[in-house]
Each structure stands twice: as C-alpha cells, then as structure tokens.
Structure 1
Amino acid sequence: MAIQHFSSDGVEIAFLDSGEGEPILLIHGFASNHVVNWGATGWIDNLKRAGRRVVAMDVRGHGASGKLHEPEAYYLRHLARDAANLIDHLDLGRVDVMGYSMGGRIAAFLTIEHPEKVRSLIIGGMGMALVDGMEGEDEIVAALEAPSLEAAMGGAGRAYRKFAEQTGSDVKALAAVMRVARETLAPEQLALIDVPVLIAVGERDQIAGSPEELGTFIPGSKVHVIPRRDHMLATADRSFIAEAIDFLAARP
C-alpha cells in the first residue's frame, strides 16, 4: 500500500488511503506511526474487510511526516488542523474518526474544533487523562532529549525512548511534541461533542485514566473496557476491533 503526501499549512503529512466504502480516519498514538499502530495490529485489514475506506495519517513529528523541533509547532490545534486539512485534501466531507492515546486526544479536539467534518468518534487508550493530564510526561521529555537510551532515566522515560528508537523516530521531534501536545480538554469542551462516541480503554491501562468518568462528560457516549489489556497491548485486541466495527455499523 503506497504512502501519499500532502502539504498541511506548509508541513508535509504522510498518509495511507486504502479500501472502498465509507471513510474512517485513523490517528495513531505518541511515538508511533500508522504502520505500527494500525497496520501491524490488524486494524486496517479488518476495517477494509468490514467495507471501509481507511485513511491513516502519520501525525507531524512522526513516521514519514515532517519533523519539526520547535514545540510551538505541535499544539493540539495544529495537529487537529492537519487532520482537518487531510479530510479536505481527499474531499471526504464528514468521516468517522478514531484515535488511540495521543491520537484520541487529537481526534477529540478535531471533533470539537471542526464538528462539520466528523460523523462519529472513537477514543481509544484515553480516559480521564484527556481532562486531568498524564503523569510522568516531564520524565519522558527528559529521556527523549537524553544523549542515548543508556542515559535515559526512569522506567516510563526509558520505555518511550526505547520504543521511539525501535520505530526509527526523531527523538528531538518527539520531545517537542510531548512538551505541548499533552494539552487537556475541559469538561465544558467535551460537552460540545454531538456525534456518536465510543471510549475504549484497557482494563489494566495505568496511563489512560477512567473511561467511565470521561464518559460522563460526553453526552450519549458508550464505554468499552478491553478485558485484561494494558495501554500497549490494547491496540491489537480483537475484542476492541470487533467492538469498534460494531459501533461504526450501528451509528446513524
């Protein structure tokens, strides 16, 4: 499947566009890319089998998209704008949108800022951390800016640095992303979401925060707890994929 590129406000954004049917836009998590988050986990193939046109982007600073080292390039409004620009670039109109972890944060912000482009929203790997923020983010930034993996400190910091190196990421760009893309959303902002919403978080996820509590702030949202999965393993869980496909099929 060939990767395409387009310019979003001067930043090159890479994306996959594959399959036929109603489109869904996939937005990956921090330090990942569309191949790792959605391809290797089976999402793209399963969605295509379900009759979907799959558009999966590499968030700026990640994958094959443009790498900038200035933190101000990564505010949520810019990341959501890239997604909105991609929807317009492909002339998709309104689409279903799914994001995992950081991608869930971007997807939620996209839905609030550009409601005319979103038909439904799936927030994976992100519960009340969307409102309260995540712990340990300064440690992750320090580990990404360390001169080497061996010099990185802290369990979470080292884990992210190792993952970043495994995915061939630009660690300076990722550090810049982490400095600002951890913006939170206020409950009154979430209350503005007026599309069908599925919130899915692993039962053993220690990062995302409570999905049930997040659901109280998003009118009419549905919560799915992914059995026996932590933040990393939930992405490839078959019950999660099945739940998402059923949700998409049932939405108006």
Structure 2
Amino acid sequence: MQSFDSDGVRIAYLDEGEDDPVLLIHGFASNVAANWVDPRWVRTLTASGRRVIAIDNRGHGQSEKLYDPEAYGAPQMAEDARRLLDHLGVERADVLGYSMGARIAAFLTFAHPERVRSVVFGGLGSHMVRGMVGSGPLAKALEAPRLEDVTNETARSFRLFAEQTKSDLKALAACMRGPREKVLPEELANITVPALVAVGSKDVIGGSGAALAELIPGAQFLEITGRDHMRAVGDSRFKMGVLDFLTSRP
C-alpha cells in the first residue's frame, strides 16, 4: 500500500498491474484487503490484463482516521477517488464500487463523468435512492462498549464485521453519523457511461438491483443468485459478470 495527500487527508491505496485502469472503492467498515485482495478481485482483474487501483476510503484501512462526521460526505469521499486518479496521472478509469463504495462511485460519476469510462454499482440497489438501514442504530452499535450490548441484528452484523477488519470503531461511527446526501433518480437518469448493477438475490441491505438498473439508461443488471450483502462480494459469478461487462463495454 502507498499513500498520498488528498487535500490534507492521508489516503492509502494499492496500484497493481498494467493497461486499462479499474478503480475499486470498498464498502463501509471494509478496506482494500478485505474487499478486494482477500476475495481475489485484484488477482482476477490483473490476470485479465488490467491495472487495479484500489483506495482505502478515509477513516478506513490504512487511510487517515477522522472523527468529525462532517468529514465523511460521499461527495467528499468521491473527491478523494478523483484526486487519486490525478495523483497517478490516470485520465479515465472503469469504476467498481461495493455498497458504500457504490454510493461514492455514483457521486464520482455525477461530478466527473469525463473521468469514468464505465461504472459498476455492486451491493447497492434501490436503497441507493431510498436510503440504506438507519445510520443511528449502526453508529450506536459501533459506539457500544461490547458486541454483546448490540441487539439490533443488522447493526450487530456491521459491528462484528468492523471488529473482524480491525477497524477504528470511533472513526466508523463518525462516518455513519456524517452527511447522508440523497441520490436523486434524475441524477441517475443523466448517467451516460456504461453501467452495471450487481446485487445478491438475498441482499436486503442494498435493496433491489433490478429497480436501480431501471433508473439508469441502458444499465445492465446482474443478480448474484443466493447471496446476501456480505457474501456476494467474493462470488465468482460477480467477478465473471464484471469481466464480461468490462470486455463488452464500448
């Protein structure tokens, strides 16, 4: 992992492979290793002849930990991704975001469509527009003294995952309490780059992938059969679907 300065915030990233660049943006409480290296995304993409650029979002992984909720808006985190492309001299990249990373990828596409060759929204469907699970219970779960103190099932699963990834719980709570900028249907309708929505058939956290794809002109939908939010990430059908999309996109 290397790092660079993103407008005063130290951001860690991975850069491997050559040729067509793919920017990977991980989900909440995850990091480059947990979201992309361990599930063999980096190996799969580099083996297909692509350059993989993967960012540790602010407050996550090896990037700087911030404790002010206002520092965690999705548009701000999208600018970290854009500055990383600037830092590496990459004019355009295919962008793959998972869960929170899909939301960040959306704001990157809205603000800088000229930098996005294509976009994959993974692990986030209709709840990109409707909003995901309540931020309050999740933040409280992260602030709880012990995992055993968390009774909300969804919040407990995120707390457990955060502990497994050895995350800074205080920083993640600040991220969860940060701005929750809305993604509007009309913004999605203005996306002109090739888009793929890939969501597990049992993903109740991300919502309907088919419903999100209907809001984006020409978007493709990939249902990851039998997978929920946590288990879809490393599914081989997800990887093959993304490779097929990247190969066939203009």
TM > 0.5 fold call: yes
AA matched with 1:120:
S
Percent of paired sites with the same residue? 54
2:102 to 101, 104, 108: 104
Alignment of 1:133 with 2:147, yes or no, is no
Decide whether the 8 Å contact of 1:18 with 1:55 is kept in 2. Answer: yes
For residues 21-54 of structure 1, what are the alpha-carbon distances to aligned partners after superposition, in whole Å with 9 as ceiling and x for unaligned? 1000000000000100001111100000110000
Measured in 2, the distance between the counterparts of 1:53 and 1:119 equals 14
Decide whether the 8 Å contact of 1:136 with 1:156 is kept in 2. Answer: no
Judged with a 3 Å threshold, the aligned counterparts in structure 2 of structure 1 residues 124 and 158 are, in CA distance, closer, same or farther, namely same
AA matched with 1:218:
I
1:195 to 193, 196, 200: 193
Measured in 2, the distance between the counterparts of 1:51 and 1:77 equals 30
AA matched with 2:131:
G
Offset at 1:121? 0.1
Q: Secondary structure at the match of 1:205?
A: coil
AA matched with 1:81:
E
Root-mean-square deviation (CA), in Å? 1.0
Measured in 2, the distance between the counterparts of 1:207 and 1:157 equals 11
How many residue pairs get matched?
250
Partner of 2:157: 159
Alignment of 1:91 with 2:89, yes or no, is yes
Measured in 2, the distance between the counterparts of 1:42 and 1:232 equals 15
Moved more, 180-189 or 46-55: 180-189
Hey, which bits of structure 1, 4+ residues long, moved more than 4 A?
none
Judged with a 3 Å threshold, the aligned counterparts in structure 2 of structure 1 residues 231 and 4 are, in CA distance, closer, same or farther, namely same
Offset at 1:147? 2.0
Q: Secondary structure at the match of 2:239?
A: helix
Offset at 1:192? 1.7
Q: Secondary structure at the match of 2:151?
A: coil
Decide whether the 8 Å contact of 1:24 with 1:95 is kept in 2. Answer: yes
For residues 114-165 of structure 1, what are the alpha-carbon distances to aligned partners after superposition, in whole Å with 9 as ceiling and x for unaligned? 1111000000000011000012332111111112222233112221111111
The TM-score normalised by the length of structure 2 is 0.98
AA matched with 2:22:
I
- 5 Å matches for 1:77-88? 77-88=75-86
Measured in 1, the distance between the counterparts of 2:155 and 2:210 equals 28
Moved more, 154-163 or 50-59: 154-163
Partner of 1:13: 11
Measured in 2, the distance between the counterparts of 1:145 and 1:101 equals 21
Measured in 2, the distance between the counterparts of 1:83 and 1:191 equals 22
Measured in 1, the distance between the counterparts of 2:228 and 2:166 equals 23
